[in-house]
Each structure stands twice: as C-alpha cells, then as structure tokens.
Copies of this chain bind each other. A is one copy, B any other.
Amino acid sequence: MRYDVIVVGGSPAALAFSRTFRELYPERKLLVIRRTEKQPIPCAVPYIVGRLKGVDNNIFSDDIYSQMAIDLVVDEVIEIDRKRKIVRTRSGREFGYNKLVIATGTSPTRIPIEGIDLKNVVFVFKEYKALKEVYKVLSRAERLVIVGAGFVGLEFADDLADGREIHIVEILNEALPLSFDKEFGALARRELEMKGVRFHLQKSIRKIVGSDKVEKVILSDGTELEADAVLIAVGVKPNSELAVKAGLRVDELGHIIVDDYMRTNDPDILAIGDVAQKKDFLFGKPMKAYFSTLAITEGRIAAMNIYSPGKIKAPTRILPVFATKIGRIALAAAGLIERVANRMGIEVIPVTVEVINRHPAKLPNAEKILFKALFEKETMRIIGAQIAGPETVVEIINSVAITIELGLTAYQILTLQYATQPLLTPSPSNNPLRRAAYEAIMLKRKES
C-alpha cells in the first residue's frame, strides 16, 4: 500500500498536520501510524486523577480520522527504508510513502536510581496504557513522593493534594527552577504548602526502598519518606532513534535537524513537534522546548509547505512561553529569566511591578498581579517576563511574548495601545507591560 503521506505519531503535531493537509489536499492518500491505542491530550495529563477522574476523559477524539478520510493504524514504526520509501512496523507490516512526517515526540528520561524498577514507581509517559497505570497507582496512593518541582510535578501535586500526603523532591533551590526566578517559584511553592504539600529542596533521591512495591524513599541528606507511590517528573528526551537509524541528522540534544519548512536532510522526510530541533530565540543554539503550541504550529506549517515551500516559515527561533495554575494562582513566563540572563552575561534592567486587577481597587474580586520584565540594558529590548496572579495573567504574557518575539524596545512598548476596564483589568497607568516599560525608561533616563 502506498500513501502520498505517512505520519508517524498521533500527537498534537500529527493531528494539526493531518487536518491541514487533508483540508488542502482532499484527494491525497494520508495515513497516520501511532503506537498508542488512544491518544491522550498531553497538556492535561497532570489532571487525570483529581479533576478529570480518568484517563478516558483526557483523550483526543478519533472522529477526525473517519470524518476527514485519514487512515489510522495503531502500531509502532520500527524502521524507515529511505531507498524504497517504505516504513516497517513492529507487527511486520510495510507501508509505502511519498512524503514521510515524523512526529514521534518524547519519552521520560530514565534516571539511574536504586529501586526505580519497584512497583508503584511511575513515569509521566503520555501513552494510553502507561497513563492507565499512572492513574491506577496515583489514585490509590495515600503517601506520594513526586520527584521534580517543574510544571508537571507541581500540576500533579496541585491536582492530588486533597487528603493525600505529598512530598516533592527537587534538586535545585526552588519550585519551577528552570522557568521562573525564585520569587515566582516561591509563590507556587507556598500555594502547595498551604494545601499540605511538603517540599524537599536541594535534595535528590538516594534510593527507593521496598520489597516488591515502594515502601520508602531515602533522600540525599538521609531523610526517609514513607511512601506507597513515587512519581518521576524530571524530564524527557526526544524519540529520535528511528530517525537516527534511518540516517537522518540530529543535533547534540537528539532532536532531528529541520529547515524552515520542517524538512530533514532527506527532502521527502519531515519532522515536527517535540522530536524536531528547536533553537533559542537569542542565540540560535539547540534547546529543549516541548510545547504543544509550537507542535501545532509546526504541524500546520509543514502541511502548508509540503509540496511547494512558500512564504510561511516555521518559528525555528524559539521563545519559551509557558503557563500553569498552582493552587489559586496562575503563573506564566516568556523568554529569559533573570538568573539565566545573569549566567549568560547579558546586562538587563529588571523591573518588577505589583498591581491590582481592578480599578479602583475597592471593586469586588480585586486580586494582586506580580509582573517582572527584563529589558536588555544596551538596546532596551524586552527579552523576558514573568507574571503571577488571577487567570488573566496567561493572556497578559501572551501579549508580552509577541513584543519579545518581535524584538520591541521599551520605547515602542510604551506607546502600544491597549484596553482597560474597571471590572476586568488594572488601571490604565498600571497595565503591567506598559508600566514596566515606563519604569525601565525612567530608570535609564535618570541614569544617563
């Protein structure tokens, strides 16, 4: 059987690609081969136990396949024969392609810890069967140790912290250490502490102890935590073995190298989503950036360009833009954090503003917004921002992200027009982005 296009993987990137391709080319033969029986929605995985009450409430509908006449095979592609242009699957089937799209995503990193193979030690693996197991273990756990205080670990803790004893072990010195400066990570940590979660910062796991199942976790400082489950949430790696085996080029982080149209070094093979290379927005160095927003965009762009590369290129210079909700507060960030800027030797003007999301503040439901922006001292370009507060902060960071991506300066930001409303936003003079730009300009002027 020969297809015009075969997609390997069923993730958001694969879905976005398939939908766009089918809309543009209704007559072409399109096949998706994915290894997971059902396709979990990756971003909401931390909520499968508490809020969603089951993995089956967190599944992409497969209706798109029948509705859009896309063939679907559940199997694992284990080999790409680039000469004959066919893929071979674990069950021994072969499918021919004219164009191949690799969207194999990531898998959790195996960490070398004694006892990691004990029962009830689970990883955040975004496949259906694996998640069913995670669900079973976590929903029964009464004493849980989470390894890693990144987004995923914290979101799981937030969802599970209701009657359970939860410990979070983090080797760095604050929650969310890679995405936020300490003052923001501390806000997230305190939200969870108020729900009874206990943090063990600057500690690692020495070993996990148990006869058959987990019974205890021993930390690097000797602390012993009784536990009936351990959730490992410490990072993932790209599933690029298949590509490597086929002779496709990967970068030093293991991501498949692609051009502006998501093409690999074989012009008939594309790679999209988490498995494809990402380069950082400032220096163009390979980075890890596993965002489903980016995966979607790459899927769309790949489909639009697959036969005739045109004017829409993929964003190969990647700006990290995140959001999460921990306890009562939302947190979001875009671009560099101060700690990283300092480490890179970039001189910045950091501006922190605290405002109220109503004006006047006497109005009902007034809440604080904490906002921090970094302006590059030399150019006054905005290069990073972090925010914490009510739900609207995510969309505020999405505004800020545009200004970072477009390289705007504090001067340009100051005059960008915007809306405010007493019941919905801070006052006109306290719009977080404009006020930060204003203060950066004033600091610079007073200095010179």
A interface residues with partner B (beta carbon < 8 Å)? 12, 15-16, 20, 23-24, 41, 43-44, 47, 51-52, 57-58, 291-297, 300-301, 304, 311-315, 318-319, 321-325, 330, 332, 334, 359-360, 362-364, 390-392, 394-399, 401-403, 405-406, 411, 414-425, 427-429, 431, 434, 438, 441-442, 445-446
Q: Chain B contacts of A313 at CB under 8 A?
A: 415
Chain B min CB distance to A421 (Å): 4
Q: How far is the CA of A420 from the CA of B398 in the complex (A)?
A: 9
Option from B391, B397, B416, B422 in Cβ contact (under 8 Å) with A401: B416
Chain B min CB distance to A255 (Å): 17
Q: How far is the CA of A418 from the CA of B320 in the complex (A)?
A: 8
Known: A23-B442, A419-B321, A424-B394. A41 touches B359 (CB 8 A): yes
Copies of this protein in the assembly total 2
Task: Output the residue of A364, A411, A427 with the most chain B CB within 10 A.
Answer: A427
6 additional A-B pairs beyond A313-B415, A390-B391, beta carbons within 8 Å, are A293-B420, A297-B417, A323-B424, A334-B419, A394-B421, A401-B419
Contact A332 B419 (CB under 8 A): yes
Q: Chain B contacts of A301 at CB under 8 A?
A: 414-415
Q: How far is the CA of A43 from the CA of B359 in the complex (A)?
A: 8
Nearest residue (CB) in B for A52 is B362
Q: How far is the CA of A319 from the CA of B442 in the complex (A)?
A: 26
Q: How far is the CA of A397 from the CA of B431 in the complex (A)?
A: 14
Q: How far is the CA of A277 from the CA of B414 in the complex (A)?
A: 19
Option from B312, B323, B330, B429 in Cβ contact (under 8 Å) with A411: B312
Known: A392-B392, A424-B325, A441-B312. A362 touches B416 (CB 8 A): no
Q: Chain B contacts of A314 at CB under 8 A?
A: 415
Known: A395-B398, A424-B330. A438 touches B300 (CB 8 A): yes
> 18 A-B contacts, Cβ less than 8 Å apart?
A15-B429, A43-B420, A51-B364, A296-B429, A304-B441, A304-B445, A312-B415, A321-B417, A321-B419, A323-B424, A325-B423, A332-B419, A332-B421, A391-B424, A394-B395, A394-B420, A394-B424, A398-B418
Nearest residue (CB) in B for A390 is B391
4 closest cross-chain pairs (CB), A and B: A395-B395, A44-B422, A323-B421, A323-B419
